[in-house]
Chains A and B, each alone.
Chain A
Amino acid sequence: MKRKISFLLNGSPVAMEVDPSRRAVDVLREDLGLTGTKEGCGSGECGACSILVDDVVKLSCIMTAAQLEGRKIVTIEGVGQDGELHPVQRSFVERGAIQCGFCTPGMVIAAVGFLKENPDPTREEIRAGMSGNICRCTGYEKIIDAVEDAAAKIRGGGSGG
């Protein structure tokens, strides 16, 4: 039995028939073709599948399709606006915080959510804020640099840096 769910996805309304127990990550990647969201561990440990649910960072690998109902969902495909990268994305590029890129969508989502809560963080706070996202390539320092840089960009009105 499928159920109808409706939600807002990257600013556009979506209505679909879906198995309510299907994982949100599978709905996004397979049913809706948004493959920017990654699946690493499938068990809440790595953060690769992070999405924003009503502006809060959640893990789409341990969330069911039914829980998408009525929510405002933002995936990596929706963080930039009007063809412009989000300041967090720009900082990741400029600071060399990306190597293979597998963790990057989850890292960017986690950083966007974290900076909403804490727009002026210390490096230690950034480390804690990003602690649920694992990267096998970068050694994290450049990711911390990028988030620090993005915080300054956002505080400065979005175009600085």
Chain B
Amino acid sequence: MVDVRVPSSLDEVFRLLREEPSARLFAGGTDVMVRSFPDTLRRGPFLCLERVEELRGVNESATEVRIGAATRLSELIASPLVADRFPLLREAARHIGAPAVRNMGTLGGNVCTASPAGDTLPPLYILDADVELRSLTGQRRMPISAFITGPGLTQLEEGEVLCAVVIGKAQGFNFHHFEKVGQRKAMAISIASLAFAARTGGDGTVVKARCAFGSVAPTVFTSRVLDDTFSGKTLDRDVLERAAAIIREGVDPISDIRASMEYRRQVAANLIMRLEGAGKDR
């Protein structure tokens, strides 16, 4: 029999972690309980973060928005602050699973699972999000792109808790787009996804653009060269075809049960073509 503790404060979390440094953390359990039940349950004890007050909710300071790691995806989607500041992140979260999965699954869980198909990750890369980590011995903060080191791999150490995802308020994007290709609409893990944000002039000329792809590389695919191709241009066919060539060249997909490598490469490049004519004032 394996113990499961459900602490309600961070103090209690660290008290339990002092007793059991190898305790396995989970929040919504929508990754852990699926993958592991009943196998890894033998490797407990488990520490459930779903009720830890300090890890829940969306708050703002003058310059940043702090999203508690145990904030459920449905709460993230319902947050006016997120809708107002980071519509791209909200849109991506809406594409995860189905309602009950979003009622259980958390932002922190999506980040720590570090799946190449994790739908909140491409927007978090574009928004230059930081993660805030805490352990018994201290606290550290780093960009999400440094935190995620490979498929399913992060810098999280034993006994360390992801407390929050922190995003700067000054993003300066006025156009955003998220599209995910899966085998069906609900519950589908992505075959390829594109998150795109840009600052554009009234005539649609791009001042700056950021692109991030999910499911087409070991981690989120971003490229400075790709982002720079859009600068000073409108999103017309020529520019997008140039971008598509860079994407086909740059991505590094795998073949699996959902799609082949070649298909993913082609879908990723095609996703960018959907932006034709976008970014102009409506």
Contact = CB atoms under 8 A, between A and B. Distances in A.
Interface stretch (A28-36, A40-48, A73-81, A94-102): A40-48
B100 A64 contact: no
Nearest to B34: A43
A131 interface: yes
A136 interface: no
A92 interface: no
B57 interface: no
Nearest to B105: A44
Contacts of A47: 98, 100
A19 B46 contact: no
A129 B99 CA distance: 6
Nearest to B29: A62
A57 interface: yes
Interface in B20-52: 29-30, 33-34, 37, 41, 44, 46, 48, 50
Given A20-B3, A131-B98, A64 B33 contact: yes
Contacts of A59: 100-101, 104
A45 B34 CA distance: 10
A50 interface: yes
Contacts of A128: 99, 186
Given A2-B1, A20-B2, A132-B100, 18 more contacts: A20-B5, A21-B1, A21-B4, A43-B34, A47-B100, A56-B74, A58-B100, A58-B104, A62-B34, A62-B104, A64-B48, A66-B4, A110-B99, A128-B99, A128-B186, A131-B185, A131-B186, A131-B187
21 contacts: A1-B3, A20-B2, A21-B3, A21-B4, A21-B44, A21-B46, A23-B37, A42-B37, A44-B34, A47-B98, A57-B99, A57-B100, A57-B103, A59-B101, A64-B29, A64-B46, A66-B5, A110-B99, A128-B186, A132-B98, A132-B100
Interface of B: 1-6, 29-30, 33-34, 37, 41, 44, 46, 48, 50, 74, 97-101, 103-104, 185-187
